[in-house]
Structure 1
């Protein structure tokens, strides 16, 4: 009979680039081997413990998880284990101290710090005999809480280490506990562990042989093998130590911050007061009875869950933003809440959409609510600083995001670790970038025809490392705020950004343990909306609802720059769906998503909407759920309600179904729930055909489906931006340009689109421009200095501060008064900003260069100026185009395609406007600058290309066979000539060309660099 055993020293891959197994793999293997317990002891980190905890619960494993951490020092190896809640807080605080004292990704540690631990256990592996006497105080401090660490790895030092540990145990009168220094769950990961070591050391494996482990013994070994390696009392001691560790992560007790509730008031009454106050504004004519019932129900559930402080905290943050005129809006499942609407956390009117509060908060679901709030991206920092100032860095930090290996980074790092030279690394990554095989990308990068040992190793290691955590980064805006010290709940470390701190858990970890996360997100479009409204001196409430002209514009797919509906896929859908009201926009936002497309929901919806097919409701109870979407479930809320009615799911079970949709392909959880859904629907009399259709639609949601509340929040922004584009295109253009980087289109494309809408755009001019682009009273736009490459805001401020009311009289007047350096002078001259002060660009560049030399030889420069000014030939039209694109990224001159067409370089290519005049089935060819390449996962290998010319944009469809034949041209061409057949949809009027031949004409553009939006 084997001796029971608990592994007390185990690293997961959250000890980045050391551990070679996921926490989930480790706990599963330990349970399969019959271990009593497993201590996850990642180096100065708790980053992987929640993953292990979650896996044990989800898989119902018979294994105790012990929380611990490893610390390395010149004096030896220290493993700290948590016994109870106090010990957990101590170790979390120690990790925080070590991490905060070092730069991101590192830590500093001294054994003296261990004396602050009053309740933890310590396993120690001294470095050498001589240092033992120096640590007498540490030994006394950890009296009966200290063990020597006996680890056997069967390498050349193993026997020596075994003898030393036994001798030290006698000398110090300390017990020895067996451990295995685990780095992987299975010995098959040994090669990957070598690879990770090479990546960590930034050297090829071949050059660090002396730093690699000699064998694969650092894995979870069988109890039988362990009994042959260790004395029985060492093994028994491992279980004895494990028995002292009783802490479970479920014991973490999180308290919401109470700061935002006024003294003398309880949170429940204060929240109710805020909601009632908001009701008088939201419903000035009185709250409808059914809305009041919903509010009362929500408040009761919020009180039952004790979430009042959460809502009050969010209310305080949003009120701060509004007090500073920072535009903000909540989205996601929170928009299902009328309470959130009355607190002004969300803007979705509950009378305009069907709300399902259970999607936000459920009585059966024991997790905190999750509210995402978008703020103007350019002013979000003010909100972040407010949170830090109010709660302090002891109580507030950002959630982490785990940066994992994805194909591109995995290919490069593994190739580098195996000694592949940089040029070949680039070629490997380029093969991935040029792939055309969806999930079969590995076959494209490493074809089966290449059976060389190196290629096979590259392939297998790349496959293994995919999904491995690489490092922790900060969440885009998820704040964790605690009532007490946050570092007693979770370790906190420095972020790469100055004055930022990040906890070691991500959003999934927080959700598992029930910690509150407040998402303070930045949305560039909100900045653009706020800038537009400020210029127009309007409020959102001033914008008329359901404006016919706005919807007419959208129905024509005239949506460049409009939030969420500006992609080519959305533009193709707009004329087919023909949105005519707000709810149509809710559907429009949602339907062009992988979920509805894979679930075959798009065509049935459109057929029913357009009256070509009748909606079916097998049960009368389903009509209220599905009627607004013509019997097709487009939203997650509908799935929840459908499962409750059609399959007798409880609200909790239906929500589990909704959750499983997001991960069913990854984890396979959905099949169990699908079977349950199918069985119950059969019992309730549904036909096999209907059940099969519903299940296919649910599988579609597994790819990506929207909650209706989220779509409703976004639809508000769609309408606002569409109205601005329709009625104030110049103002909207200036706001979009001033809010960059954001959105789908480059500044050049936005400007070209505005000019097609008869917006006059004036060039950058040192006598008229400001830093920002400016909308002028007549509806035109003056470009600002922010567009000039090489020009920063500080230099622009100097130009503006020194500029006389009557303007600069000469280039030297400007450059000297504004104290412009050589780079700034050249940037302005190249951009044409000195156009009014010089004959042409070359002349301006010469004059702008003079101040630099004049300080040394003024007489010579004066003579040179007089001698050469008249000799400088003016740039021709093509040169000006090149200069424009190189210095500004856009030209206000003729479109490059018009110039090329005039020079006869495009043959008889049809224009974008001319393409629309051709008939379905006509064969022709078209030329244009590539502005967008898209290959959605839903497109069965099809690539969609957008070409731009002087008349507008055209849509090109490239089928898989054509793409494979001309892959290099498809991927890399800047100027493309496409031969193909015209296809037209008679109902929507959408015209595109099916390509059968691609010709790269990029050489005609010479030095012109245009920006395309590729494979996003």
Structure 2
């Protein structure tokens, strides 16, 4: 009898999970019910799945509301009806129009209006009567509507405690305190499952209403296939034939095989044939072909991509140019990507430049059809301490008290606070509940039948239809996703190549990665840490690791890209790898097979593929079982029973091969302990390929590369650090100039002009208009000409003057400021059309007004965030630059020295005792970088105090040839005062 049940997916309204709803219903003897979440169908497929498992009969539907007002409830008679419901909501979401008062004409849907609805009812439309509305039927002639009345008992909450949680959710949603939530903004306290027999008792005088309700529910059949089914576009060929797909994929793979390996590589040919067989057996030919089609389109547009993730284990993907990682060269296992027992779908991660991805997505939507393509959604939950702040706000607590509750340092004091205990109790009930729907980073679904059979679609800010559930639900239903991602590193590469061609007439094939990997100069820069700006290898931690490893090959970089990961580093494996790398002759292997398979990584299981290799070559397991076991050790097994069976198989197979039991036990211990930390080798290899491409450009076209980094909004460091690196590369970096600068940074030879984009306070319209007008009608003659041609107002003109953008006039900033006030006064001047006759301007005799370098530097600090006219060191009150420079650190190992450095960045970490310590990065007066370590006993006494220069005293230490400063004292140095303020 429950036609109007709501789960937590009625966001900030419903209080029960789908599983809890079904369990609670069954505990009350309910055998069928309808899930009708508010304006969404997020939980419908999950609801059917749980009902099937528990033995309940599910009905799908939706409650339609507009501005919190209940319009009608729609119940699907079958899957076609569910599609009609989803289509109705989708239409209004995508076209951004309000839901109508009346439901449309449905063919396979029952519509239930709230009691009191006025108007003629269609054959499929009914009136829902709540038990507290039955008194309204007294004395009414029910004959005309007798067959239209249904029992309506909404369910939002479980009990009184759950109702209180509902009130908190509504307060958070409405951003108001609990006492101000109106009755119409929340459900009734009785909107819950009633005790067995209670609903029947309440409707006892109107038993026919219950009969109507039962008959209607019996007519609803959710005729969806049970279990996970393949819901993807299953054929790519226009013929719709899987045989044609298989032949096309083989043709493309063989063509790519010749491109990648030549005509006579028997090993590669055998691997391609093996993979094609598995791909066909698992029905993934179309998946590969669609991915190939996406790559083909993007390459035809001149877009550069990086194919990464476990898909790089596939030689077929390598031959199709989906990835540039050679699986033979790196001994990658296809089973890590795809095998007969793998329940999860294959997964290609395709990265594009941040400004090209949207066009690729647009192509996918147009190529594969509206209604059959959608972006993947995500579901954020209540899960962090910000929720405690939200609860405090709706309770009406003052900000100071809320701040105290969210301060980790006051945890002990808060523990016995009754208000805090109440907040925590509410938070614990709310934790991990769905909070809001959002959009996945890049997942795209392509289906063979309309996607609205399974979900309604949202229209988030990206403007592309998005499903109402996340990747986990997509996988359970039966959808495979295509990850079309973006990253700024690719934007750096793309723009740097173009700038090198424009500025130096260079012709670059950025895909000649194998050539880059053998270049001694590139590898020398890699080993010396000269990688600032380069994808994945520019952070201080990565630079430090590569210097410790003396990393000068692709293989070592692949390993470094893995062991830098937090889990690997914290487990101690990183230290073991570095030590063994420098002394491989000292490594003791448990068994010859371990040496044979792990010699490349000195006995350390750096990669997930290493775990698979040991399972195959030491224990004799097949690749499929080995990958399932690897996934199980990472916490991703399907069932503990299946996992335990494979563990037994590991020992049984090893014993059958005659392996000594005590060695097998130790091998298993190492395998099981490493598996949770290890990282995909294919993923690391993809990163390393892109790192080499960046490093090639940084090595041979450093100025163009750094300009590209700046124009793609940097990476790990602040903009000031990239400008510093640009200067170190020999560029003459100029402040923005109205006659030379564009909106972004530009380069001409060795001259680089900063763009208007980086000027704080300059409005977007002038950032674009100033360079556009100059390109159309020539350079600006003077300040007045700039004002006439662009319409720039007083405030914006002052900003341009103060940053030095009119220095070409030969006048000082102070002279120009006088002039602009004479020209504009306090009013903005409108845009003028080109004058027929130039009116001669008046010249005024002004006293000599000069700006000092220090004044200019302060203007730049304010408007750019960093100075160009002076260095940070020139701004210091003191001339002291430290006892030693960064380049001399290694000559003072063990000595206590004083150094002066410009702050670059810091990283906070916690020791095993949960004490805070820092790693710092600085630049010395000669422009070189150095690293510092700040241990817990020093951090509180000598904290960092933001940007600027510091003097530090500490002991010089060295680890694997890398020298750094263990700081004992640190003090921020004073800079010269702003002369304008003095």
TM-score normalised over the length of structure 2: 0.85
Q: For 1:102, what is the secondary structure of its paired residue?
A: coil
What is the deviation of 1:540? 1.5
Q: Counterpart of 2:450?
A: 485
User: Which residue among 270, 276, 301 is the counterpart of 1:293?
Assistant: 270
What is the deviation of 1:885? 2.3
User: Which residue among 81, 84, 89 is the counterpart of 2:75?
Assistant: 81
User: Which residue among 121, 141, 162 is the counterpart of 2:124?
Assistant: 141
CA distance in 1, matches of 2:8, 2:673: 36
Q: Counterpart of 2:858?
A: 882
From the superposition, tell whether residues 795 and 756 of structure 1 become closer, same or farther in structure 2 (CA, over 3 Å). Answer: closer
Match status 1:929 vs 2:903: yes
What is the deviation of 1:210? 3.8
Q: Is the 8 A contact 2:151 2:209 kept in 1?
A: yes
User: Which residue among 271, 279, 282 is the counterpart of 1:305?
Assistant: 282
Deviations 1:298-350 (A, max 9, x none): 22222223322222222222222111211112111111111111111111123
Q: Counterpart of 1:813?
A: 785
User: Which residue among 62, 66, 73 is the counterpart of 1:69?
Assistant: 62
Alignment of 1:521-560 (within 5 A): 521-534=485-498, 535=500, 536-541=506-511, 544-560=516-532
Alignment of 1:216-295 (within 5 A): 217-219=190-192, 223=196, 241=217, 244-248=220-224, 250=226, 254-256=231-233, 261=238, 266-283=244-261, 285-295=262-272
Q: For 1:828, what is the secondary structure of its paired residue?
A: helix
What is the deviation of 1:803? 5.9
Q: Is the 8 A contact 1:841 1:875 kept in 2?
A: no
Q: How many residues align?
A: 947
Q: Is the 8 A contact 2:577 2:602 kept in 1?
A: yes
Deviations 1:405-444 (A, max 9, x none): 342542342232222345665x469x55xxxxxxxxxx54
Q: For 2:483, what is the secondary structure of its paired residue?
A: strand
User: Which residue among 459, 466, 470 is the counterpart of 1:506?
Assistant: 470
User: Which residue among 721, 746, 750 is the counterpart of 1:749?
Assistant: 721
What is the deviation of 1:627? 3.5
From the superposition, tell whether residues 768 and 587 of structure 1 become closer, same or farther in structure 2 (CA, over 3 Å). Answer: same
Q: For 2:962, what is the secondary structure of its paired residue?
A: coil
What is the deviation of 1:563? 0.7
Q: Counterpart of 2:16?
A: 21
From the superposition, tell whether residues 222 and 843 of structure 1 become closer, same or farther in structure 2 (CA, over 3 Å). Answer: farther
CA distance in 1, matches of 2:332, 2:141: 68
From the superposition, tell whether residues 65 and 262 of structure 1 become closer, same or farther in structure 2 (CA, over 3 Å). Answer: closer
CA distance in 1, matches of 2:139, 2:665: 70
Q: For 1:200, what is the secondary structure of its paired residue?
A: helix
From the superposition, tell whether residues 979 and 27 of structure 1 become closer, same or farther in structure 2 (CA, over 3 Å). Answer: farther
Match status 1:378 vs 2:355: yes
TM-score normalised over the length of structure 1: 0.83
Deviations 1:50-96 (A, max 9, x none): 55567678xx6455554322224799664433343323322222231
Match status 1:781 vs 2:755: no
Deviations 1:333-380 (A, max 9, x none): 111111111111111123321222222222223444221211121222
Alignment of 1:607-1006 (within 5 A): 607-611=579-583, 614-615=586-587, 618=590, 621-622=593-594, 625-643=597-615, 654-659=626-631, 679-681=648-650, 684=654, 685=661, 686=663, 688-699=665-676, 701=677, 705-740=678-713, 742-777=714-749, 779=750, 781-789=752-760, 790=762, 792=764, 795-796=767-768, 798-799=770-771, 801-802=773-774, 807-853=779-825, 866-868=844-846, 870=847, 872-877=849-854, 879-900=855-876, 902=878, 918-920=892-894, 922=896, 924=898, 928-929=902-903, 931-935=905-909, 941-950=916-925, 951-960=927-936, 962-963=938-939, 965=940, 969-970=943-944, 973-975=946-948, 977=950, 981-995=954-968
Q: Counterpart of 1:126?
A: 114
From the superposition, tell whether residues 254 and 687 of structure 1 become closer, same or farther in structure 2 (CA, over 3 Å). Answer: closer
CA distance in 1, matches of 2:410, 2:275: 53
CA distance in 2, matches of 1:903, 1:163: 90
From the superposition, tell whether residues 253 and 757 of structure 1 become closer, same or farther in structure 2 (CA, over 3 Å). Answer: closer
Q: For 2:179, what is the secondary structure of its paired residue?
A: helix
Q: Counterpart of 1:1013?
A: none
From the superposition, tell whether residues 150 and 651 of structure 1 become closer, same or farther in structure 2 (CA, over 3 Å). Answer: farther
From the superposition, tell whether residues 973 and 77 of structure 1 become closer, same or farther in structure 2 (CA, over 3 Å). Answer: same
Q: Is the 8 A contact 1:86 1:119 kept in 2?
A: yes
CA distance in 1, matches of 2:365, 2:103: 31
User: Which residue among 101, 104, 112 is the counterpart of 1:110?
Assistant: 101
Structure 1, gaps ≥5 residues long: 1-5, 152-157, 433-442, 1009-1016
Q: Is the 8 A contact 1:524 1:739 kept in 2?
A: yes
Q: Is the 8 A contact 2:115 2:129 kept in 1?
A: no
Q: For 1:110, what is the secondary structure of its paired residue?
A: coil
From the superposition, tell whether residues 808 and 227 of structure 1 become closer, same or farther in structure 2 (CA, over 3 Å). Answer: closer
From the superposition, tell whether residues 793 and 476 of structure 1 become closer, same or farther in structure 2 (CA, over 3 Å). Answer: farther
From the superposition, tell whether residues 661 and 837 of structure 1 become closer, same or farther in structure 2 (CA, over 3 Å). Answer: farther
Q: Is the 8 A contact 1:102 1:108 kept in 2?
A: no
CA distance in 2, matches of 1:334, 1:83: 41
From the superposition, tell whether residues 646 and 508 of structure 1 become closer, same or farther in structure 2 (CA, over 3 Å). Answer: farther
What is the deviation of 1:606? 2.0
From the superposition, tell whether residues 915 and 256 of structure 1 become closer, same or farther in structure 2 (CA, over 3 Å). Answer: same
Q: For 2:685, what is the secondary structure of its paired residue?
A: helix
What is the deviation of 1:110? 3.3
Match status 1:208 vs 2:181: yes
Deviations 1:842-894 (A, max 9, x none): 33444445442499999xx99997354x25341441x3222112222332233
Q: Counterpart of 1:154?
A: none
What is the root-mean-square deviation in Å for CA atoms of aligned residues? 4.2
Deviations 1:511-550 (A, max 9, x none): 2222232222222111211122222331114553322222
Q: For 1:540, what is the secondary structure of its paired residue?
A: coil
CA distance in 2, matches of 1:37, 1:313: 41
